[in-house]
Amino acid sequence: MIHIRCIIEIAGFPKEHIEKTMNDIIEMLKKEENFQFIKADVEEVKENNKMFSTFAEVELKLNNLSGLIHLSYHYMPSSIEILAPDEFETKMGEMNDFFNDLIERIHRNDMAMKNLFAENHLLKKRLSGASNAKQ
């Protein structure tokens, strides 16, 4: 078992949506098969520059490294602190899976960023052409 504490943050609007989303996340964590939910301390939603935000400090016990990877990818905590064990051994296959999943996610995000950059460039070009045609 891997005992961890993590921080999960949410920001957006309206306030009710942020409250509901955080509650939904906590409920999903409680139902996860690879996790043993211990506790969650959720901070009150606060407003900052017309946006609302909150965070939860969550304590979990995970069955294995795969559970930690699942938590990281699907819940994207802003930080993770491993409380126990002090040391652990990992099988090469688990590490290979971890790094291949990480690389795949980096490539997918890179492709999405490149596509957004290209679309943005085309839109700017079209807008520039449209404004020049009106003059």
What CATH number does the domain containing 22 carry? Answer: 3.30.70
Check residues 95 and 84 and name the one with the higher pLDDT: 84
Residue 18 burial (CB count, 10 A): 20
- Domain residues for the domain of 8 are 2-88
Q: How many domains does the chain have?
A: 2
Choose the weakest-confidence range: 23-27, 38-42, 93-97, 108-112.
93-97
Tell me which long-range contacts 99-105 makes (C-beta under 8 A, separation of at least 24). 101/69, 101/73, 105/73
> Taking the model in full, what pTM does it have?
0.75
Mean pLDDT over each residue of the chain, to the nearest integer: 91
Question: Do 77 and 93 belong together in one domain?
Answer: no
Question: Do 46 and 109 belong together in one domain?
Answer: no
The predicted structure's pLDDT at residue 133: 67
The predicted structure's pLDDT at residue 63: 87
Question: Do 43 and 77 belong together in one domain?
Answer: yes
The predicted structure's pLDDT at residue 55: 97
- pLDDT band for position 135 (50/70/90)? low
Helices (H), the chain: 15-31, 65-75, 92-134
Question: Do 103 and 73 belong together in one domain?
Answer: no
- The rounded distance, in Å, linking the Cα atoms of 22 and 24 is 5
